Amino acid sequence: MNIPQIDITDQQRRLSLIAILVVFMLGALDMTILSTATPTIVADLDGLELYAWVTTAYMLSSTVLVPIFGKLGDMYGRKRILVWGISIFLLGSVLCGLSGEFGDLPILGDGMQQLIVFRAVKGIGGAALFTSAIGIVADLYPPLQRAKFMGLFGAVFALASLIGPTIGGLLTDHASATWFGHYVAGWRWVFYANLPLGLIALYMVSNKMPTLNTHQGGKIDYLGAMILLIVFIPFLLALTWGGNRYAWNSPQLLSMFALSAVAFVAFIRVESRASDAVMPLDLFQSRIFVFANLSSFVLGMAFMGAVMFMPLYMQVVLGVDATGSGFAMLPLMGGLMLTSILSGRLVSRSGRYKAYMVGGVVILVCGMYLLTNLDVDSSLMQLNIAMAVVGLGLGPSQSLTNLIVQSAFPVSKIGVATSTTQFFRQVGNTVGVAIFGAVLVTSLAEELPKQLPQMAGSATEFNMNQAQSMAMNPQSMQATVQAQFDAYTPLVERAFAGERAAAAELIANPLLPDELKAPLENYLARDDVTEVPNAERYLTAYKAGIEQQVSAAVVTIKRGTRTAFANSINSMFFTSLWICLLGLIVTVFIPVIPLGTRDQENNATSADVS
């Protein structure tokens, strides 16, 4: 149907675009500012076992609600939904900052559990932010002009990715203060920092943005929305828990996957009969929609593999600190920003997008190949070059996917088409986190015993968390190894005093030098002696050489740990390379359609439907 046009002045368009960019910065910054603050948060709230849920809670609620907010935007106007989204987002930010301030609370539990619940609340607002913001750009500009501005969104995200970790680290380390006699931890300002920018965005959207798409009637598909939640919540939870909390073949995970599969079949059945479906199935009749979203899904997985675990490589393998790793992401984000803006402008002039999308993925594949060549001895410069190439390849897909999907549908369906595209991208990100996390855990389980056989055979348990902690904190590694040697001193004394059981245990410890074990082995081989020959001399030499032995063990453990992490992360890069190749194949099949004018778009009937 034809949608009534609303007269919008150039000034209103400019102010609205600025407001949307502020909104997008608000949401994008929240995704990056938390990364450097999370370790301090979980330590303060005593919730290390729930570490991943700080991110997972937000991702779950924001992902599953994206299509629902897209439908609400089509029905009631995207400006109204955006205002509600910003309000919920800011409320969630305040509540997150207050987590644990009042101790344990009924139902909500302790501080860490409160934070997880409030992050989910914040995710509800986040779902409305991104969906409404991108949809409003489609209301403001016709496709050819829209391409130019879509590149700005990629640039804003790149900027937020660059400055977010640094701001988070600075606030966490330096913003702690006492206000009116009450101590406020610095990490709480990571959440409160959203308020000034959020209030500016709320004011601009409420007062400067005109009412855009008009009320189009219809009703909410409550049944479809509920089933959609059942489809993805168990699925995403299973991917999150798989390989760590539960085994992949455990009854818990298998039942969750089964529930998602059954709900998926029910969802298709319900949506095929619904008059106002939350995710209209006729969208999938468009080849543009299918292949563009499949490409977005696959590249979203690869994006998480390249970006999310990159700081881990820099901090554990290269020894860069948290704040420094944020600055070290500049080549990737700079490349992404450059090609995101450039491809948008070029497409706005020519109307041709296919070559830029395919070319971008080709460059991405090259960047991933460079990453697979990194090892424990690679330099930061080698990493920077590879990341720059990856960023250049990611840019076009970040800015053009929404553009071509919106161009394939009339204005009446832009909201739901945009939200569904955003939905599939976020699901791809979530699946990517699960896949690469599983690859990392599996690889480390193999690599750590291989690279550190002396630790695998020692009496001290040495798990992945300890490996990461000690690799990033040499003082902690020194103290741990020193404590282990100190704990063995009484055992050494008993062994050289003639206690055969102690001597046998000492010989089995691979951390101790061979010159210390030799006299004990000779002693145990003879039954006719009751004491270790020259025991006092060996014992004195052992105590005098402890410092040197500790230093040698630290060097060995540090090298082995770095090698184990380098090899494990390299396995992730290889996995990401194959996923990028799959993304290239899918992108090649994206159909080409003309990017028309606003009038053409209003009368469009999805001519590419096959």
Which residue ranges make up each domain of the chain? 1-220, 455-560
> To the nearest whole percent, how much of the chain has pLDDT over 90?
8
Work out the average pLDDT over 251-263. Answer: 93
Predicted local distance difference test score (pLDDT) of residue 258: 94
67's tokens: 């299509």
Q: Give the residue with greater pLDDT, 360 vs 102.
A: 360
Residues 6+ apart with CB under 8 A from 459: 509
What lies within 8 Å, CB to CB, of 35 at 6+ separation is: 164, 165, 168, 311
Among candidate residues 62, 95, 79, the one with its CA nearest the CA of residue 202: 79
CATH class of 1-220: mainly alpha
Between 78 and 120, the higher pLDDT residue: 120
Highest mean pLDDT among 205-209, 430-434, 573-577: 573-577
CA distances from 219 to 73, 75, 124 (A): 12, 8, 20
pLDDT tens digits for 52-98?
A: 677 777 877 887 777 778 778 777 778 888 889 899 999 999 999 88
Length of the chain: 610
Cα dihedral value 228, 229, 231, 235, nearest 10 = 150
Query: 286: which strand partners?
Result: 609
- The one-letter amino acid code at 278 reads V
Cβ neighbours of 229 (radius 10 Å):
17
What are residue 84's phi and psi, to 5 degrees? -65, -40
Model confidence at 610, pLDDT cuts 50, 70, 90, reads very low
- pLDDT of 474 reads 66
Cα(346)–Cα(334) distance, rounded to whole angstroms?
A: 18
Distance of alpha carbon 472 from the chain centroid: 20
Q: Flag whether pLDDT at 415 surpasses 80.
A: no
- Alpha-carbon distance values, 595 to 2, 7, 451, 601 (Å): 18, 22, 55, 9
Mean pLDDT of the chain: 78
228-233 average pLDDT score? 81
